[in-house]
Amino acid sequence: MDRLSQSQQQRISSAVSYLGLALVVIIIGLPMFWMLSSSLKTLGQIYTFPPRWIPSNPQWSNYQEAWNAVPFGRFYVNSIIITFFGAGLQIINGTLCAYAFAFLKFPFKNVLFLLVLAALMVPGEVVILPNFLFFGNKVREWFNLDTNWINTYQAIVLPGAATAFGTFLMRQGFMGLPRDVLDAAKVDGAGHMRTMFGIVLPMAKPIVITFALISIVNKWNDYLWPLIVTRTVEMRPITVGVRLLYDAEGNNNWGVIMAGTTFVVLPLIIVYIFAQRFIIDGLTAGATKG
């Protein structure tokens, strides 16, 4: 009787878990589906009530109109450059700092790590003005340049090169690695670089991939800072460029705007589809080694 009761409790718990998961999928997926559906509708169909989730006559021309309305090709190039270098710098800096905080001994180590944790509490909007003034004036003075770095790739990428979140996340992951393997590498005479690239990073593959995906998504979706620091259409990433589809007078063709928004989201979906296998492999490897 007790076993039956326990079995029933497990079934109820599993059912609740699956129900909660399904609810989360619906909440996340419903806006995405509505975006894709609206991108294939006319303006009249979008305002139809009750709404029609499946367009009766898909308007594929919305995508062509959105692509031709603004230079999406240039926006893609800018976003790829910003994401590649921005996420790359964050991953490199986060990995090196996390390794140092996890395995090295140096003065004021705990104090410095507390400063990193404190940086997590600072809103990103607080540093926008100092960064803008630095790249607009101080860079020209310090490096004796003829022009400032406003409206350049380096002004978009460099302020986010350091990452307190990535340092904290990967440091916590590194701290959970088995110490006997690291001690064995030290006995064999392995230096820090060899230990990090040959032992630590392969063992911490799941956390590294997780942070890489978070960094890529954040850099691709970044809007406020690129909007402020860029002045020409040619330098703007796709998240800022899609804003040009909006009519200042409010006469917006929402089908075309949703098609442009799909251009923004589509690369992230593709990245996730391809990265999913690596995440599973990393988690499997991490579980096996653990």
3 state SS for the chain: CHHHHHHHHHHHHHHHHHHHHHHHHHHHHHHHHHHHHHCCCCHHHHCCCCCCCCCCCCCCHHHHHHHHHCCHHHHHHHHHHHHHHHHHHHHHHHHHHHHHHHHCCCCCHHHHHHHHHHHCCCCHHHHHHHHHHHHHHHHHHHCCCCCCCCCCHHHHHHHHCCCHHHHHHHHHHHHCCCHHHHHHHHHCCCCHHHHHHHHHHHHCHHHHHHHHHHHHHHHHHCCHHHHHHCCCHHHCCHHHHHHHHCCCCCCCCHHHHHHHHHHHHHHHHHHHHHHHHHHHHHHHHHHHHC
Return d(Cα 3, Cα 134) in angstroms, integer.
Answer: 68
Return d(Cα 210, Cα 170) in angstroms, integer.
Answer: 10
Two tokens, residue 166: 């990535």
What's residue 80's pLDDT? Answer: 95
Residues 38-76 have pLDDT tens digits of 888 888 888 888 878 888 888 889 999 999 988 999 999
Two tokens, residue 183: 């001690």
Question: Is the CB of residue 177 less than 8 Å from the CB of residue 200?
Answer: yes
Q: Which fold has domain 70-245?
A: MetI-like fold (1.10.3720)
For the chain, which residues make up each domain, given as ranges? 70-245
Q: Taking each helix axis from N to C terminus, what angle separates 109-119 and 72-103, rounded to the nearest 10 degrees?
A: 150
Residues of the chain with pLDDT under 70: 1-7, 9, 247-251, 277-290
What's residue 285's pLDDT? Answer: 46
Closest to 100 measured CA to CA, from 168, 183, 158: 168
Question: Is the CB of residue 202 less than 8 Å from the CB of residue 178?
Answer: no
